Structures are given as C-alpha cells and as structure tokens.
Amino acid sequence: MTTQRYIFIISALAFAAVLSGCMDNDGSGGTEAVQAAVPTTAVRVQDNNFDPEAIQVTAGDTVTWQWQGQNDHNVVADGFESPVQNSGSFEQHFENPGTYQYRCTLHGGMQGTVVVAEADA
C-alpha cells in the first residue's frame, strides 16, 4: 500500500469517527428531539419518566420539574443538578439558547431534553 493511500484511508476513518460522534444513537444529530419538543416550562417527574421528555422554551425562561410519583429521582445535566427527592419541585433558569440533555442518575434510561430557542427581539 502506498503512503498516500494509507494516509487517505486513515483520514477517511478519522473523519467518519468524528462525524459519528456528532450524531445521536438514531443518527438524527438531535433533530428528532427538537421536532418532538413540547412548548412548556413544566416537566412532571413520574415513576421513572419525565413527562414530557422533550420540551422547548425561550431563552430567559425557567423550567420547573414537579415530582408526582412515589420513587426518588434527581435531575442532572452539565451545569445543574437537583437534590434526590420524591416530592416537591426543582427549577432551572435557561439564559442561553441550545439543547440541554438531562437525566436521572438513579434510573438508567430516564432522560430528557430542554431545547432553548432564542428570544424574539
């Protein structure tokens, strides 16, 4: 194999690896969560699920997670974390547009998304 061909193959594999890291497990790159996001600032924390699982808010909004089930849960993301609780609520203010993935660290697969859109000028 020539050196140029070897470099081309390694470069193509590296590009494919980087590209795959930008995709979600379903390959959508996150667009499915954005399209399915419900416009609301309230999320119910019910026995092992967040309802709705994906929401859309505007920059400057505060999201409230309200515990309504029997089990202990928390809300954890990069930049914020609720206490473990089974009643009450937790609020998080979102100032910057973007997509924020969160999860309950006590229950694998219990996750949600907050899509923060830019505020209208």
Domain range for residue 36? 24-117
pTM score: 0.71
CB neighbourhood size of 76 (10 A): 17
As for how many domains the chain has, the answer is 1
Q: What is the CATH number of the domain that holds 100?
A: 2.60.40.420
- One-letter amino acid at 62 equals T
* Residues paired with residue 115 on neighbouring β-strands, in sequence order: 56, 99
Dihedral sign from CA coordinates of 46, 59, 33, 78: negative
User: What digits encode the pLDDT tens for the residues 3-61?
Assistant: 666 455 565 555 444 434 433 433 344 455 556 899 999 999 998 999 999 999 999 99
Asked whether residue 92 is assigned to any structural domain, the reply reads: yes
Q: What is the pLDDT of residue 25?
A: 39
Local structure of residue 118 (DSSP, 8 states): P
How confident is the model over 103-111, as a mean pLDDT? 96
Asked whether residue 13 is assigned to any structural domain, the reply reads: no
Asked whether residue 95 is assigned to any structural domain, the reply reads: yes
